[in-house]
Amino acid sequence: METFTLDNQAYVIGTNGRLFADPHPGKDETSFQVDNTSQEYYNSPYYLLHKEQLQPVPKPRVDPPLMNLADVVGPNTLGAITAAKQITFNAVGDTGAAKNNDPTTEAAVADALAADVAVGGPTAPAFFFHLGDVVYHFGEGRYYYDQFYEPFRAYDRPIFAVPGNHDGVVFGQSPDTPQIPTLTAFLRNFCATAPAQSPDAGTLVRSTMTQPGVYFTLDAPFVSVIGLYSNVLEGPGVISSQGGAYPSLDDAQLTYLSAQLTRLKPLRSKKQRAVLIAVHHPPLSADSKHGGTTGLSNDIDQACKSAGLWPDAVLSGHAHLYQRYAYRAPGAGRDIPYIVSGSGGFAVTPPKPGTPSAPYTSGNVTLVKGPIIEFGYLSVTVNMTQSAKTLTISFKSARQKAALDSLIVKL
């Protein structure tokens, strides 16, 4: 593994001099350096007029927007993963803590993630794929230090992300003009043209990520994660025009999803990799505020049917709890795990009153586990060491420091 050593501690160095963890992480914050006061802008003229309006999706820098883990970490790191014949990564959404929340909740999740990395070796997490809502409430750059860089200062691995609705939603003092264009800070911190120290990071050294777009595919040894951007509405999540229902959007993401599944089908058919979809809004969910998204679920079905490949799992956030569904997608011939993990630090919220607890089946959807109302995160492992190649997804509690749910998918 490519590292530098400071004070007898080894730190990972990525490609082009990228840095991930701060050499002197210090203690967790107990208060913000910049208090998040933007909740008041939910009453701003622009937001009140446009809160049900989708925002434009920035075009990727390259077409198609693909990224390889080799673009970010060096050959020694990749070699160790390949030699071990397995890869582990983390995922969770909704980590950004805001003023009206206890900063220690996000810190507890971030510290647990960093502890997984500190175990070391090729079986430690290789990266973190963030499921959106990095920063509340309007994705402002001035909050990135307190809500992203400082909490994850000790996570010595790359962090990739798809935006959540709060990362892209905008406000403004005028009814016609947003204060800041949508996704400005997200693009600066996650879709930079080159790795550099972010102006939003203060003195912390984590390099900006260089994703090719807000939707993209991350190819890593043994796994590909197709990340989608589901826009800014509190609900539903939207990735396409849905046949003209959302005329301000085109179908570029839907076409892209189908093309990526088609590209990955030969590798998946040979059991050479797992294929996952990551999106902020959950296609399936039931909590007190964030329900599932039928149009998004139908779009995923359409792309999978077109490609002839269904993912091994769909990961999402947005709902501030953990739930695991088994979805018998038409034509898939198998149950697909749809996992909601939006308990990364902002809040945990209960299900809607009267919502059945697991196990519960309705039509082709089964709620297998949950809801679990607890801060935590996902640990995802693709294991190619056995003849029966597997994908394992576990939900780990930050408080209990243990897995509260786990499933194994045979590839």
CB 314 within 8 A of CB 283: yes
Burial tier of 369 (Cβ tally within 10 Å: 0-12, 13-18, 19+): buried
Coil vs helix vs strand at 135: coil
The whole-angstrom distance between residue 134's C-alpha and the CA centroid of its chain comes to: 9
* Cα distance between residue 78 and residue 76, in whole Å: 5
Q: Which of 80, 96, 176, 179 is nearest to 131 (CA)?
A: 96
What angle, rounded to 10 degrees, do the helices at 252-269 and 294-307 form? 50
> Span 273-302, mean pLDDT?
88
Instruction: Specify the DSSP class assigned to residue 356.
Output: P
CB 112 within 8 A of CB 379: no
Task: Assess whether pLDDT exceeds 70 at residue 181.
Answer: yes
* Cα distance between residue 244 and residue 404, in whole Å: 42
CB 328 within 8 A of CB 306: no
Q: What is the pLDDT of residue 98?
A: 73
More confident residue, 15 or 98: 15
Instruction: Specify the DSSP class assigned to residue 28.
Output: P
Highest mean pLDDT among 36-40, 106-110, 362-366: 106-110
**In CATH, what number is assigned to the domain containing residue 282?**
3.60.21.10
How do 86-92 and 128-130 pair as beta strands? parallel
Coil vs helix vs strand at 404: strand
Query: What confidence tens digit (pLDDT) does each residue in 231-241 have?
Result: 999 989 999 99
Task: Assess whether pLDDT exceeds 70 at residue 6.
Answer: no
pLDDT band at 3 (very low <50, low <70, confident <90, very high): low
Quote the domain boundaries for residue 9: 3-410
380 contact partners, CB below 8 Å, separation of at least 6: 88, 89, 90, 91, 223, 276, 315, 391, 392, 393, 394
Question: In the predicted model, what is the mean pLDDT of the chain?
Answer: 93
pLDDT band at 99 (very low <50, low <70, confident <90, very high): low
> Span 15-27, mean pLDDT?
89
Task: Assess whether pLDDT exceeds 70 at residue 289.
Answer: no
Burial tier of 68 (Cβ tally within 10 Å: 0-12, 13-18, 19+): middle
Query: What confidence tens digit (pLDDT) does each residue in 185-210 have?
Result: 999 999 999 999 999 999 999 999 99
Query: What confidence tens digit (pLDDT) does each residue in 350-407 have?
Result: 887 777 788 888 899 999 998 999 999 999 999 999 888 999 999 999 999 999 999 9
Q: pTM (2 decimals)?
A: 0.96
How do 216-220 and 159-161 pair as beta strands? unpaired
Q: What is the pLDDT of residue 248?
A: 95
Total count of domains within the chain: 1
